[in-house]
Amino acid sequence: MFIDESVIYVKAGDGGNGCHSYERLKYKPKGRPDGGSGGRGGSIYLTGSPQVHTLADVAYKQRYVAQRGAHGKGKNQTGRSGEDIFIQVPLGTIVYDDSSGNILFDCLNPEKPQLVAKGGRGGRGNAALVTKYNPNPDRSEFGKPGEEKPLRLILKVLADVGLVGRPNAGKSTFLSRISRARPKIADYPFTTTKPNLGIVQIPGNYDSFVVADIPGLIENCHEGKGLGIRFLRHIERTKILAILVDASSDNPQADADILVSELNHYSKSLSQKPKCFILTKTDTVPKDQKVHIPKGWLSMSSVTGENIDKVLWTFKKMVDKSREENPDLC
């Protein structure tokens, strides 16, 4: 199941209490203080993983509580630290503190676990509290509580090119033709119900880019029609958008205008993205009819493979240009 938003609760482990004890020696009723300190509570980290594609597992578990630190013991024994928890989320997950609404960070780097709840410090035992002026401290400390908070996780997938089109425009077929992704394809609308990603490697070129296919858009989807616009967040971080229109359309330009206006309704960032317009399924136009391609558009057929290379090179050029202009954009 694809889930792109979830609230989870994280609670780091409390620190163990320090121990209050004294060495017991023969003929020495009250020896030196030897109470060990408590162990540190386990912390909770989030890591972005390229192998995880949905927040479903995280949403299912919901509550993450790390182990507490063990209490210190006599004979200077320090308590064991609680084990840390590492929660794996898809790359591109944005993490908010749900109580304040503040954004904490964005999981973009797979190698770097981010601390979300710090384990409590262990309390010091009376042995650790010995000072020159107080060689026999008559106290020990309690462990500090671990941090706890609700987190809102919102996934915005990371891709370079976003495919936008009406249902049945041929988006998923195109993605399966250019990458190893195998999205569901069928001749009924709304076959795609979740975003699909595919890595595209242009033959003879080492560089690759990622293409995202999202469910189809229809007129007034910003009012909730069809599957609505909730999947548009997944193309918000793409570098360019490809608007796909079926060649059987009576007026491809008008169809594209409707799609663009839906994008404009959604956000300024989508309206400002560089766009590439493509007429799809050109093989379906009868041989005796001329394919009418609006000015500045590309055309292709995912079935015969006609012009696919040209479209991919256009994507590559546009993506490279965008990478140069906005190196920080992700």
Ligand X SMILES: Nc1nc2c(ncn2[C@@H]2O[C@H](COP(=O)(O)OP(=O)(O)OP(=O)(O)O)[C@@H](O)[C@H]2O)c(=O)[nH]1
Tell me: does residue 252 bind ligand X (CB under 6 A).
no
Give the range of 9-17, 96-104, 140-148, 276-284 binding ligand X by CB under 6 A.
276-284
Euclidean distance between CA atoms 317 and 242, whole angstroms: 13
Euclidean distance between CA atoms 93 and 300, whole angstroms: 34
Other beta carbons less than 10 A from residue 283's beta carbon: 15
Euclidean distance between CA atoms 276 and 308, whole angstroms: 14
Tell me: does residue 170 bind ligand X (CB under 6 A).
yes
- Residue 214 vs 318, nearer CB to Mg ion: 214
Q: Of these, 192, 282, 299, 301, which contacts Mg ion (CB under 5 A)?
A: 192
Euclidean distance between CA atoms 238 and 214, whole angstroms: 12
Nearest Cα neighbor of 40 from 100, 117, 108, 103 is: 117
Q: How far is the CB of 175 from ligand X (least distance, A)?
A: 8
Tell me: does residue 302 bind Mg ion (CB under 5 A).
no
Tell me: does residue 298 bind ligand X (CB under 6 A).
no
Instruction: Give phi and psi for 87, each to the nearest 5.
Output: -100, 125
**N-term to C-term CA, the chain:** 25
Tell me: does residue 226 bind ligand X (CB under 6 A).
no
Pair type for strands 161-165 and 240-246: parallel
Q: Of these, 71, 144, 156, 171, which contacts ligand X (CB under 6 A)?
A: 171
Q: Reading across the β-sheet that carries 114-117, which strands appear in turn? A: 85-90, 44-49, 114-117
Instruction: Give phi and psi for 84, each to the nearest 5.
Output: -75, 155
Q: Of these, 6, 93, 172, 238, which contacts Mg ion (CB under 5 A)?
A: 172
Tell me: does residue 185 bind ligand X (CB under 6 A).
yes
Q: Of these, 17, 126, 301, 322, which contacts ligand X (CB under 6 A)?
A: 301
Give the range of 35-43, 115-123, 301-309, 317-325 binding ligand X by CB under 6 A.
301-309
Query: From ligand X, Mg ion, none, which one binds at residue 238 (CB under 5 to 8 Å depending on kind)?
Result: none
Residues 6 or more apart in contact with residue 107 via CB below 8 angstroms: 46, 47, 48, 89, 90, 91, 92, 93, 94, 95, 114
The H-assigned helical ranges of the chain are: 56-61, 171-178, 252-266, 268-272, 308-325
Q: How far is the CB of 301 from ligand X (least distance, A)?
A: 4
Q: Give the residue at shortest CB distance from ligand X.
A: 216
Q: Of these, 42, 120, 216, 252, which contacts ligand X (CB under 6 A)?
A: 216
Euclidean distance between CA atoms 113 and 190, whole angstroms: 37
Burial of residue 187 (number of CB atoms within 10 Å: 0-12, 13-18, 19+): exposed
Q: How far is the CB of 3 from ligand X (least distance, A)?
A: 19
Euclidean distance between CA atoms 125 and 320, whole angstroms: 60
Q: How far is the CB of 308 from ligand X (least distance, A)?
A: 9
DSSP letter for 123, please.
Answer: P
- Residue 189 vs 228, nearer CB to ligand X: 189
Tell me: does residue 234 bind ligand X (CB under 6 A).
no
Q: Of these, 162, 165, 195, 198, which contacts ligand X (CB under 6 A)?
A: 165
Tell me: does residue 299 bind Mg ion (CB under 5 A).
no
Query: From Mg ion, ligand X, none, which one binds at residue 284 (CB under 5 to 8 Å depending on kind)?
Result: ligand X
Q: How far is the CB of 315 from ligand X (least distance, A)?
A: 17
Q: Of these, 93, 280, 299, 322, which contacts ligand X (CB under 6 A)?
A: 280
Q: Of these, 169, 200, 235, 243, which contacts ligand X (CB under 6 A)?
A: 169
Which parts of this chain interact with Mg ion (CB under 5 A)? 172, 191-192
Instruction: List contacts with ligand X (CB under 6 A).
Output: 165, 167-173, 185-187, 189-192, 215-216, 280-281, 283-284, 301-303
